[in-house]
């Protein structure tokens, strides 16, 4: 089963949940998760919790325990917050390149589903009649302790956007599109190195080429250790074809280490 997770403590999440139920044929089933009603449509389960999702490590195990369901993939429908309060529609995988400040564990990465994130990016871009920013975000925050592929799809970045009806509709439609199509999508997968948190170069490349990004390590996470880069490759669903480096947006030692790893593992080294 494919899982959509929402939370009652997040205005954007509840907005998206409402649009999923309103626009698709999600129906109540005779099960509860974390004390809340479970909904189902086709092979998609819609869950609601009262916990902050970034702290919900081992959610896949909890789903198996409470519902006797093994998730194939988990999409977190969430808010995005930023000091700039820029209206945005974003997608990313979770994990921590260093210390875990907001959920997850230190130097731990969730399993990235690059095909799903690229489809999310493309669909958000296609449906974006709001003239908001659409982008990847670098890998950050929890949960990191998940053993099935997962991703966040978010509405940002302030209460005004979180409550926006159209944004809720766009993300709801995007989530369903992703879950119905990611398994049959064929893209070249790359780990992304460098640039800012909102991954402008990786976003542009993904929107205009066959590349799909899994984990992205922004410049602020550098220097990146060899062990963590290899972990990012291993914690990617599907075969990683290459390592993409935003050359000007990366530190020297990290650039050289990425090149060395690409040579060692016989991966394409893509230098922007």
* Same domain flag for 167 and 258: no
- 71 Ramachandran zone, left/alpha/beta (phi>0; psi -120 to 50): beta
Same domain? 46 vs 109: yes
Domain check: are 10 and 90 in the same one? yes
Q: Which of 185, 218, 247 marks a domain boundary? A: 185
Q: For residues 210 and 100, state if they share a domain.
A: no
- The CATH number covering residue 222 comes to 3.40.50.10700
Report the predicted TM-score, pTM, of the whole model to 2 decimal places.
Answer: 0.98
Q: Is 84's pLDDT higher than 90?
A: no
Q: How far apart are CA 82 and CA 128, in angstroms?
A: 20
Residues 235 and 249 placed together within one structural domain of the fold: yes
Residue 184: DSSP 8-state = G
pLDDT of residue 83: 84
Domain that holds residue 267: 188-272
**Which CATH number characterizes residue 3's domain?**
3.40.630.50
Helix intervals (H) in the chain? 11-23, 59-67, 114-127, 159-162, 165-181, 200-208, 226-234, 252-264
Is residue 31 scored above 90 in pLDDT?
yes
Span 259-272, pLDDT tens digits: 999 999 999 999 98
Question: Who contacts 131 (Cβ-Cβ below 8 Å, separation ≥6)?
Answer: none
CA distances from 57 to 12, 94, 270 (A): 21, 11, 33
- Single residue among 141, 168, 185 that ends a domain in this structure: 185
What per-residue confidence (pLDDT) applies to 30?
A: 96
Q: State whether 241 and 252 are in the same domain.
A: yes
Q: Which residue has the higher pLDDT, 85 or 114?
A: 114
**39-48, 82-91, 118-127: range with lowest mean pLDDT:** 82-91
Express each pLDDT in 10-24 by its tens digit.
999 999 999 999 999
Which domain-ending residue is among 185, 208, 227? 185
Report residue 257 CA to chain centroid gap.
Answer: 25
Same-domain check for residues 161 and 254: no
Residues sharing a CB contact under 8 Å with residue 41, sequence separation 6 or more, in sequence order = 24, 25, 26, 27
C-alpha triplet 136, 138, 141: angle, nearest 5°: 120
Residues 147 and 243 in one domain: no
pLDDT of 37 reads 97
pLDDT over threshold 90, residue 246: yes
As for how many domains the chain has, the answer is 2
Angle subtended at Cα 236 by Cα 265 and Cα 228, rounded to the nearest 5 degrees: 65
pLDDT of 199? 98
154 and 198 in a single domain? The answer is no
Question: Do 123 and 157 belong to one domain?
Answer: yes
What's the average model confidence in pLDDT over 184-189?
96
Q: What is the pLDDT of residue 15?
A: 98
Residue 111 to residues 106, 159, 169, 215, 242: CA-CA distances in angstroms? 15, 30, 27, 9, 17
Give yes or no: residues 170 and 260 share one domain: no
Instruction: Dump pLDDT digits (tens) for 118-138.
Output: 999 999 999 999 999 999 999
Q: Are residues 227 and 194 in the same domain?
A: yes
């Amino acid at each position: 089963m494919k899982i959509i997770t929402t939370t009652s403590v997040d205005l954007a999440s509840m907005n998206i949940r409402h649009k999923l139920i309103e626009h698709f044929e999600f129906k109540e089933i005779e099960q509860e998760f974390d004390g809340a009603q479970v909904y189902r449509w086709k092979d998609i389960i819609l869950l609601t919790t009262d916990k902050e999702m970034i702290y919900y490590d081992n959610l896949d195990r909890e789903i198996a325990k409470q519902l006797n369901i093994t998730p194939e993939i988990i999409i977190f429908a969430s808010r995005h917050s930023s000091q700039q309060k820029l209206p945005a529609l974003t997608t990313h995988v979770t994990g921590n390149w260093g210390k875990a400040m907001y959920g997850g564990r230190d130097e731990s990465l969730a399993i990235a589903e690059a095909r799903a994130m690229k489809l999310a990016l493309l669909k958000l871009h296609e449906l974006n009649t709001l003239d908001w920013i659409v982008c990847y975000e670098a890998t950050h925050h929890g949960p990191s302790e998940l053993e099935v592929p997962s991703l966040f799809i978010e509405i940002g970045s302030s209460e005004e956007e979180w409550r926006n009806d159209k944004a809720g509709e766009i993300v709801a439609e995007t989530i369903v599109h992703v879950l119905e199509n990611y398994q049959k999508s064929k893209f070249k997968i790359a780990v992304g190195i460098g640039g800012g948190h909102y991954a402008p170069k990786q976003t542009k490349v993904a929107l205009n080429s066959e590349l799909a990004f899994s984990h992205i390590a922004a410049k602020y996470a550098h220097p990146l250790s060899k062990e963590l880069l290899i972990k990012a490759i291993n914690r990617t669903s599907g075969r990683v074809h290459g390592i993409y480096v935003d050359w000007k947006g990366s530190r020297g030692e990290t650039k050289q280490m990425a090149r060395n790893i690409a040579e060692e593992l016989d991966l394409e080294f893509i230098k922007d």
